[in-house]
Structure 1
Amino acid sequence: MLTLKDRLRFARQEAKKTQSAVAGAVKMTQSNYSQLETGSALKSVFLPAIANYLGVDALWLESGEESRAAQFIQVDAWDSNTPLDDDEVEIPFYKDFHLACGSGAIGEAMDSETRRLRMSKVSLKINGIETKNACAMTASGDSMTPIINDKDTIYVDRGRKKVKDGKIFALCHGGLFKVKYLYNLPNGGLRIVSANAGEFPEERLTAQEIIDQDFIIEGWVFSWQTMVSW
């Protein structure tokens, strides 16, 4: 996990700024700033100003947690002909992935998808995600409420399919598209856990049941965007 000094150095280098430039911009001494990057100082009242100057999320800089809205680019008017900014990328948006999951035609659906969403390059770099592995999907159902709601947009790293206990994954299970917490069990089994455990009790699969029930992990859900309905 990145420490404060790591996050500061990363953000400063991405912004192509020197330590003295950052210190001068926020009206602190270079010595005090240097203490933050060496780890000898672990907090500072200047951190919000530093975050603003470097163009990163203040919550992420201070704690390593990033506010959901800050992970994505500012919403501007654009269409398919609008050039990408230097700090953004386009990723596939599989809005109807649940249909592909049910039909068993996942590969075909992904190859033919033309919809795209734009997001910040920094969001991917912070999480160590290659652009080619990033995509967006639409969540379906209420099993992960109140964390992820029906029709929320989820952001998936298809390069990370190995289960890490307690992480959220997008998956196909017997033709159904699901978003779940996963945990390893002995001998290759898995616990499948919902945030809405009252209505959706946890499931346990053995290694053989994973094969028999066509259980396929599509990737790690590294973020999501909640839309409030009227």
Structure 2
Amino acid sequence: MAKSDTDIPAGARRRLLALAQERGASLAGLSELLGRNPSYLQQFIRKGSPRKLEEGDRRTLARFFGVDEGELAEAREKSYGATPPLGAGWVEVPRLDIGASAGPGALPAGEGAFDAFRFSRRWLAEHGLEGARLSAITVEGDSMEPLLNDGDEILVDCTERPFRDGIHVVRLGESLMVKRVASAGGGRLSLLSQNLAYPPVSVDVADVDIIGRVVWKGGRI
């Protein structure tokens, strides 16, 4: 028996189905738009296979429907910067179960929060972070030493702001990295390491996603 719409889990699959119905677009046609077999999106929506849409597929569909790409991401994928309120004087910032490589690039195994840091609202306001979308992740590797060491935890501000040079967490392909990011002109960015043993990497702006700016670090002495 085919599943009814109410049987489809809330989230990216339900949103994609709603958008297709609103636009009068067939799932087979959308699948072909992605260069996939005609049953690809039908399988995704009805059976959850694949478990999530690949980033490039989300981007293509978002452009087609004229919506934000995040609407087609599962809740777990949108955990970057999800800062839940705690109380009048405090904010809990989720510690995500992923690492940002300070080396060649790490593949995140998951993006679920396993714990939280508690920050004073006053402290956040003093640092221009009141109401910011924050999360904490772990540094992996040595390319940002001595500024950031392997095992340090960093606070990442994922609030949408105009880009400016600085230390950022970026995603290049499927790799999550923490680097100093600088404008290089001509639509390119330079990904720079503090450790001079690692050469700069030049990338096209369109090829890198800037997840957020690093605004604080903590680690063992």
The RMSD of aligned alpha carbons is: 2.5
CA contact (8 A) 1:163 1:184 kept: no
- Structure 1, unaligned stretches of length 5 or more? 1-83
SS of corresponding position for 1:115: strand
Question: Residue 194 of structure 2 aligns with which residue?
Answer: 195
Query: Alignment identity in percent?
Result: 27
Identify if the C-alpha distance between structure 1 residues 160 and 151 changes in structure 2 by more than 3 Å, giving closer, same or farther.
Answer: farther
* 2:210 is equivalent to residue 217 of structure 1: yes
The C-alpha deviation readout for 1:144-183, integer Å capped at 9, x for no partner, is: 1000001101001001464312x11011223222111111
Kept after mapping to 2: 8 A contact 1:163/1:182: no
Deviations 1:53-78 (A, max 9, x none): xxxxxxxxxxxxxxxxxxxxxxxxxx
Identify the residue that residue 87 of structure 1 maps to in structure 2. Answer: 89
- For residues 152 and 145 of structure 1, the distance between their equivalents in structure 2, rounded to whole angstroms, comes to 11
Gaps of 5+ in 2: 1-85
Change (3 A) 1:130 1:137: same
Q: Could you tell me which residue of structure 2 aligns to residue 153 of structure 1?
A: 153
Q: Counterpart of 2:5?
A: none
Task: Say if 2:192 and 2:201, in contact at 8 Å, map to a contact too.
Answer: yes
| Separation (CA, whole Å) in 1 of partners of 2:179 and 2:91 | 27
Which string of whole-angstrom CA distances, capped at 9 and with x for unpartnered residues, describes residues 13-43 of structure 1?
Answer: xxxxxxxxxxxxxxxxxxxxxxxxxxxxxxx
**Counterparts of residues 50-65 of structure 1 (less than 5 Å):** none
Aligned-pair CA distance for 1:187: 2.6
How many correspondences in the alignment?
Answer: 132
Matching of residues 71-150 of structure 1 within 5 Å: 86-98=88-100, 102=107, 109-110=110-111, 112-131=112-131, 133-150=133-150
Structure with more of its chain in helix, by fraction: 1
Q: Which has the higher strand share?
A: 2
Task: Evaluate the alpha carbon distance shift between residue 161 and residue 196 of structure 1 in structure 2; reply closer, same or farther with a 3 A threshold.
Answer: farther
The 1-side partners of 2:161 and 2:192 are apart by 16
- TM-score, scaled to structure 2: 0.53
Quick check: which has more Rg, 1 or 2?
1
Partner of 2:122: helix, strand, or coil? helix
Q: Structure 1: which amino acid aligns with 2:213?
A: W
Cα deviation for residue 202 of structure 1 reads 0.9
Distance 1:179 1:163, change over 3 A: same
How does the TM-score come out when normalised to structure 1?
0.51
Deviation by residue 1:77-114 (Cα, 9 ceiling, x = unmatched): xxxxxxx6743210110132459x725x8xxx44x424
Give the 5 Å matches for 1:21-40: none
1:178 aligns with 2:180: no
